[in-house]
Amino acid sequence: MTALSFWSLAGDFALLSLLSIGGVNAILADSQRLLVQRHGLLDEAGFAQAVALGQAAPGPNILVVAVLGWMAAGPLGLLACLGGILLPSTLLVWRFARWAEANRQHPGLRAFQVGSAPLVLGLTLAGAALLAQPYAHSAPAWGCIALVALGSLRWGGPPLLWLALGGLIGALCGALGWI
């Protein structure tokens, strides 16, 4: 990884950090666009595998970015992606938290909180649809994805459990020749 590509990747993830309201899942679609389409560091399947590995690892969801960076460009990729995503948003949140604490009753603050929910939901759904694309090439595959997604929304529980259940259902459908 050259110095130019390091700083380019760090800058791209620094911009993404400003969109990551609600967490890393909100920027998965843009992360895929950057790492797969723009920089060509991962293919679609590699991106989906990195996200699955990052989500399965114990700890905060920000580990997804660390795994993506590592799989895309090794240790320097990890530093570029993780540093880029953490620094701007951390500084912004730190400053905003100080302002919000001093202005708790401000009507604009409540409007911002309520208005952010649809943005976070839309960005998260865009990331989920993008992750499903390499694997959803038939109606039964989409059915499997929908079944696991709706089940996790309805009954909750640990995401790793739903990931394992989705894998089992997918393996069963594959063994039966449906996928």
Model confidence pLDDT, tens digit, residues 10-37: 999 999 998 887 788 889 999 999 999 9
* pLDDT on residue 7: 95
* pLDDT on residue 6: 94
Measured CA to CA, the distance from residue 69 to residue 80 in angstroms comes to 7
Model confidence pLDDT, tens digit, residues 40-53: 999 999 999 999 99
* Residue bearing the bigger pLDDT, 42 or 143: 42
Measured CA to CA, the distance from residue 138 to residue 123 in angstroms comes to 24
* Burial of residue 151, with CB atoms counted within 10 A of its CB: 0-12 exposed, 13-18 middle, 19 or more buried: middle
Measured CA to CA, the distance from residue 132 to residue 120 in angstroms comes to 19
